[in-house]
Amino acid sequence: MDEEQKSSHGVQSLEIGIGVLKVLVESGSAMMLKEIATAADMPPSKAHRYLVSLVRSGLVEQDSGNSKYDLGPLAIPLGLAAVDRLDRVKLGLNSISELRDLTNETTALSVWGEFGPVMVRWERPHRPITVNVITGNTVRLLATSTGRLFSAWMPAEVVRPLLERELLTGRSTEFKTLDQVESVLQKVRADGYSFVRDSDYASRVLGLAAPVFNFKNNISMAVSIVGVEGISELGPDSLALAELKRATAALSKRLGSLR
């Protein structure tokens, strides 16, 4: 066996140890030895041996009071360093391209700007009738699925003045008060996505948007699907929504979110 073949085999014990560490990461809280062993599908004695090494490395620590294991001091800078090196927009652009191919609908990526959500990029579907999204455009909060999505998860002190400004303009036919807005935003948070049909922003346009969260569990980006009523199916039971949720969940996990 040559050196290249040997190197491709890796170190099995290291892979098993990382699997034990992954159990703690995904649990979101400290765990007892038996809980870790069960989740890792191994005997407690074997799990304990790996935990001893992980504790020595600083990736795991054990509470002397209740004997539970949790992520150690080295895990925090290691995770933050990994997140800092991620290009979230690049990841998002790859995601909307794949989502466009899966749904054959217009897909878009947006981030929060100074005055609201800004469209970073959009992907055109392979069909003659499409909805154009203007790159670099700041979209309205009340009339679009993307705007309502960010309004639901951005800090209230950031988004409230912008919502009040939109209400004062009188351009919205659906909302007159902040209480009406909050009722809709509560549903967006409960559903985990935003859906707008034929708003006062654009007739016969369907908008679907879902959030991408970062390692602090704050909204980082939004992925949207935009379609045409009578042609696109973007409702609650649609394949498009299922694929959108899958894509945003994968992006959130990649950015370190445990939501």
- For the chain, the structural domain boundaries read 3-83, 86-254
Closest CA to 103 of 69, 83, 131: 131
Note if the pTM is more than 0.75.
Answer: no
Closest by CA to 134, choosing from 121, 147, 125, 145, is 121
Confidence check: pLDDT of 3 > 50: no
Q: Which CATH number fits domain 3-83: 3.50.50.60, 2.30.30.100, 1.50.10.10, 1.10.10.10?
A: 1.10.10.10
User: With contact defined as beta carbons under 8 Å apart, do 210 and 91 qualify?
Assistant: no
- For the ranges 75-89, 225-239, 243-257, the lowest mean pLDDT is seen at 75-89
Q: Which CATH class is domain 86-254?
A: alpha beta
pLDDT of residue 218 exceeding 80, the answer is yes
Structure tokens given for 237: 């039971």
Confidence of residue 7 (pLDDT cuts 50, 70, 90): very low
Residues in the chain: 259
For residue 182, the model assigns a pLDDT of: 95
pLDDT at 83: 55
